[in-house]
């Protein structure tokens, strides 16, 4: 069960992606690099690694940052809408339309769900 408590909307910033790709990406393991390049999330990824991976996602676009319960803990949660929904309903970029959720514990990916 996912319960949203606070909502802060944040869009993707190309400058952040460029900075992370230049400053952090070269030091990542090949496994993390492959996941980022393919837009995939792995358990244990940092928030920056997850951000880069989702910026390469072909399915999900608009991101909301919220807090919810995951496995009995109150955790930072990123939620995403499918890009098709965002294109069709441009004025409806909101967390209620999200279908993909990434849960962070201590700044690392603890898990994810998709609906």
* pLDDT tens sequence across 49-58: 999 999 988 8
Total structural domains in the chain?
A: 1
* pLDDT tens sequence across 19-39: 999 999 999 999 999 999 999
Q: What is the pTM of this model?
A: 0.80
Buried b (16+ CB within 10 A) or exposed e, 86-95: beeeeeebeb
Residue among 83, 92, 103 nearest 1 (CA) = 103
Instruction: Please report which confidence band the pLDDT of residue 13 belongs to, taking 50, 70 and 90 as the band edges.
Output: low
**1: in domain:** no
**2: in domain:** no
Nearest-angstrom CA–CA distance, 11 and 20: 16
* pLDDT tens sequence across 59-106: 887 789 999 999 999 999 999 888 765 555 555 556 777 889 999 999
For residue 72, the enclosing domain spans 7-114
């Amino acid at each position: 069960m996912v319960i949203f408590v606070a909502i802060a909307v944040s869009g993707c910033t190309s400058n952040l992606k460029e900075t992370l790709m230049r400053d952090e990406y070269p030091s990542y393991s090949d496994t993390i690099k492959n996941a980022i390049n393919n837009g995939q999330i792995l358990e244990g990824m940092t928030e920056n690694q997850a951000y880069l991976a989702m910026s390469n996602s072909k399915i999900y676009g608009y991101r909301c940052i919220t807090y919810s319960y995951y496995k009995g803990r109150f955790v930072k949660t990123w939620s995403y809408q499918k890009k098709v929904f965002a294109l069709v309903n441009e004025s409806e970029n909101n967390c209620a339309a999200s279908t993909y959720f990434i849960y962070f514990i201590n700044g690392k990916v603890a898990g994810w769900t998709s609906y």
